Amino acid sequence: MSNRTTTAVLGLASAALTLALAAPARADCPDGTREAGAAEADFGNRARAALIAALPPAPAGMEKQGRPNDMNEKPTFAFCRGTPVGAFSPNVADSYIYKLPKAEVDRRSVERRQFQQQIEELEKLPPEKEAQRKALEDQMRAAYAAAPRRSRSDPPLSAEQQALADRQNAEGRRLEEQVRKVELDHKASVKPQTDPLRARADALGSGPESFALRLRMNAERFPAAGPAVVTFGAPSPKRSEGLKVHNVVLEIAGPEGAGKQALLAAVDRAYLQGLVGAPLPDLGASQARASSAAAAPPPAGPAVSAAPAAAEASPAPSASGPVAAPASTTSASTNAPCPPPARSGNTAADAGTAIGGQVLGGGWGANVGRSLGGALGAIGAAGTAQEPRSGDCPR
């Protein structure tokens, strides 16, 4: 599983947002724009700083990627004229990478090979099918062998010889297709058993794992329940109405396993819960919190799995029925991420659209975000995977 797009796009999300808010797309605001009021801008800046202060340092064995979020980079808020006060949802993001220790890489390699051996055993032809395949193969070889042949130094084949060669080669190809069909039909018959095994083998990647951790404040609605998201407070249809903290949403995108669990454990949930319904801390308090977290020892890193090898963890499948995929090893939480959007050719632009539209409200904010995101698209296009948008679930 590749996560380079996740890392590239989200590593730039904060910078793109800061730039996007400074240049409204007036074409989407026929009645003009309005600047944020002093209280509105102050709330937005303090909200962003409070969320940055909640981004956890990289757990032991992991690293942060991209440019750090800077509390001193204050976005310039501007809205379409008539946009209600507080019609935005502050959000920040960070990306992390986890390089598996050698012991874990070796363990996964062994377990992956054991899954592959189970697949090979299932796809091996049973004796009666192997006998059928062998008989057809012998006939195929005989047909090809009976076709007249000539070397470059020999005279051309006669018309009769060429006709015989054509017939024998056609028969050989027909028998060759039958041989292939015996093999493919058997593989298709065991596919309900081999597909789950392949999925489990593919999930045992040994390369670096990338994760995107995103915090949103005052989301209009929450994603469905699942292990990758934690929510605090209640949905806020009017987002930051009243310039108060109505909710905070924590989302982590990336492969399931110890790395994601370490990030979830590193987040101070009590702090996030304490933001809901309370006055936002001032910039100095958020900076002090971030500095204290940076100076502290790193949070506990991903635990190396001590799970048994595949052959011991689950019995080899038989022809009697499909093999069920293993249950997730992640602990349950309150909410799950939105389903991934359709793959796009410019994931950075997609991220800019989602963030600009969410924070500013209205189509012009989305367009500004897309414009800046498109400029960063060359980086986002380096990968192929996508993860859920920073905004709410697509309508």
pLDDT in tens, 194-243: 999 999 998 888 889 999 999 999 999 998 777 789 999 999 999 999 99
At residue 207, the pLDDT reads 82
Taking residue 27's Cβ as centre, other Cβ atoms within 10 Å add up to: 9
CB 164 within 8 A of CB 147: yes
Q: Bigger pLDDT: 97 or 344?
A: 97
State the Cα–Cα distance between residues 348 and 343, nearest whole angstrom: 12
- Strongest mean pLDDT among 231-235, 318-322, 331-335, 351-355: 231-235
Tokens of 223: 């994603």
What's residue 72's pLDDT? Answer: 86
Mean pLDDT, rounded, of the chain: 77
Residue 26 has pLDDT above 60, yes or no: no
Domain range annotation of the chain: 4-99+208-251+273-282+343-352+360-380, 105-200
Bridge partners of residue 64, in order along the sequence:
96
Distance CA 73, CA 69 (A): 8
Residue-wise pLDDT for 242-301, tens only, equals 999 999 999 999 988 889 999 999 999 999 999 999 999 999 999 999 999 989 999 998
pTM: 0.58
pLDDT digits (tens, 9 = 90+) for 135-193: 999 999 999 999 999 888 899 999 999 999 999 999 999 999 999 999 999 999 999 99
Spatial distance between the Cα atoms of 63 and 61, rounded to a whole number of angstroms: 7
Residue pair 359/390 in contact (Cβ under 8 Å)? The answer is: no
List the one residue out of 285, 68, 109 whose CA is nearest residue 205: 109
Q: Is the pLDDT of residue 42 over 70?
A: yes
Residue 360 has pLDDT above 80, yes or no: no
**Cα 353 to Cα 368: distance, rounded to the nearest angstrom:** 7
Mean pLDDT, residues 100-115:
90
% of the chain residues with pLDDT over 70? 70
User: How many H helices and E strands in the chain?
Assistant: 13, 7
In three-state secondary structure terms, 183 is helix
Q: Cα(385)–Cα(233) distance, rounded to whole angstroms?
A: 31
Query: How many C-beta atoms lie closer than 10 Å to residue 28's C-beta?
Result: 16
pLDDT score recorded for residue 351: 42
Measured distance between the N- and C-terminal CA atoms of the chain, rounded to whole angstroms: 27
Query: Tens digits of per-residue pLDDT, 70-102?
Result: 998 877 777 899 999 999 999 999 999 998 888
pLDDT value of residue 224? 77
Give how far Cα 292 sits from Cα of 53, 59, 295, 336, 387, Å: 10, 15, 5, 30, 31
